[in-house]
Amino acid sequence: MTTFLRRCAALIAAVLLAGALGASPAAALDDGGAISAAYQRLGGSAGRLGSPTDAGRCGLRDNGCVRHYQGGSIHYSPASGAHATWGGIEARWAGLGWEAGQLGYPLGEEHCGLRGGGCYQDFQGGKVYWSPASGANPVWGAILQRYATLGWETGHLGYAVGGEHCGLRGGGCYQDFQGGKVYWSPAFGTNPVWGAIGAYWASYGWENGPFGYPTSAEVCSGRCTQSFWGGQITWNPTAPMSYSLWDWNPLVAVNKRHPLSPLSYAPPSLSWVGTQLMRADAAAALRRMIGDAAAAGVQITTVSGYRSYSDQATLYASYVAWYGQAYADTISARPGFSEHQTGLAMDIGNPGADCGLQACFRDTPAGRFAAANAWRYGFIVRYPDGFQGITGYTFEPWHLRYVGTNAAAQMRSWGVPTLEQYFLMSAAPGY
């Protein structure tokens, strides 16, 4: 008897479910018949959606309703109307929270026949694109607007190959496309980066590096140039990649893998600090530091500041002659690769040259003052102890590098001792 009752209960449940699936959506949903009308418009059970798999339900965001089918779904809201989703686009939309997510409700059905066999669908909060090569990905907001000006999927960028990634420096976001990336930040707007310029920019740490965010798209006429917060990068088919930093930017990155551009670079203005020259902004900051140190009873001298390309070539050659090239490369930069050539570096010392240009300088009054206070004036100890594998140079507690007060304070606060780490650049232990 128990088995018979179970079979009867199962049969009754099956009949009720069949009745529910066969019922008119209008009878089950408080949507004014919108879902039923959309279903019939799309071919009913003979169309892409096939037969319904539930009776539908309401109570969604913004007074919406939904009914699911074998081949997809129809969502309705008073603001968007009733529209179907299916396939890869529906799966991506579902992964983003359906109508409760960033995209909201669909505003129309899928449109296909795009480049490379692609499709797209409009939603309240953006679009979702799909192609066999890229899969399904959303594009929205400022990045969507910029993408439109660049020709959508028919332009240089092609299809999106991932969603938007945010939380970058300065509150920025980026999105990957087949042909490059689009970056957005509150301060610099929305701009694409691609090709050789994009690869060169990436080697300097993307938006974290000395160039910062792009402030324009690349402009080409024989050669291509793109402007960034901190300078310009130029691609020339007949010459190596090159860059120029704006005169005010102290965040130039120069190490064994990132030479100055051009190699013979000279800073725009120089000013005296004691017996040595520095770039004017760095010189003013160092004079303040030396003055404050003196007021605290600590004397700091200047030993070696700006060196021209030819000066650095002479010095480097002398080290090679004395020690051999392998060791010389751990204590001296090749011409065109020297921080001193930027005008932003100064080797400091003590009166009487105690521990001059030696590791023991760390334990002198001048060395201790610099280690504790240089950041307040916009300087860092550029080659800290234990980081030769990153910087390429042995510990130099006397070598100060001007990066500006903001960057110096951030590096101290974040516990980031080297520019390579601060810029998220690759280590540069060798050329």
Q: Look up the CATH architecture of domain 270-422.
A: 2-Layer Sandwich (3.30)
Boundaries of every domain in the chain? 165-245, 270-422
The whole-number average pLDDT for the span 30-36 is 90
CA 57, CA 20: separation in Å to the nearest integer?
Answer: 12
207 given a catalytic annotation: no
Query: What pLDDT is recorded for position 326?
Result: 96
Q: Is 2's pLDDT higher than 90?
A: no
At 244-285, the pLDDT tens digits run 999 999 999 999 999 999 999 999 899 999 999 999 999 999
Predicted confidence at residue 353, as pLDDT, reads: 84
Q: What is the pLDDT of residue 33?
A: 94
Q: Using one digit for the tens of pLDDT, what is the confidence trace for 389-416?
A: 999 999 999 999 999 999 999 999 999 9
Structure tokens at 363: 């334990």
In the chain, % of residues over pLDDT 90: 91
DSSP tally for the chain: helices H, then strands E: 13, 22
The answer, yes or no, to whether residue 18 has pLDDT greater than 60, is: no
Nearest 5°: phi and psi at 389? Answer: -65, -20
Provide the pLDDT for residue 323: 96
The answer to whether residues 396 and 382 touch, using CB atoms and an 8 Å cutoff, is: yes
- pLDDT per residue over 113-162, tens digit each? 999 999 999 999 999 999 999 999 999 999 999 999 999 999 999 999 99
> Residue 267 has what pLDDT?
94
CB 366 within 8 A of CB 350: yes
Burial class (CB in 10 A: 0-12, 13-18, 19+), 146: buried
Confidence of residue 31 (pLDDT cuts 50, 70, 90): confident
Q: Which residue has the higher pLDDT, 203 or 9?
A: 203
Whole-number pLDDT of residue 28: 57
What's the mean pLDDT when you consider all of the chain?
93
CB contact at 8 A, 414 and 404: no
Mean predicted confidence (pLDDT) in 48-52: 97
Rounded-to-integer distance, Cα 97 and Cα 199, Å: 34
Q: What is the pLDDT of residue 29?
A: 81
Between CA 380 and CA 412 the distance in angstroms is: 9
pLDDT-based confidence at residue 354 (cuts at 50, 70, 90): confident
Whether the pLDDT of residue 23 is over 50: the answer is no
| Rounded mean pLDDT, 160-166 | 98
pLDDT at 216 over 70: yes
Out of 99, 207, 396, 420, which one is annotated catalytic? 396
Q: What is the pLDDT of residues 286-299, one digit of tens each?
A: 999 999 999 999 99
Query: What does the pLDDT average to over 365-390?
Result: 98
pLDDT at residue 403 in the model: 98
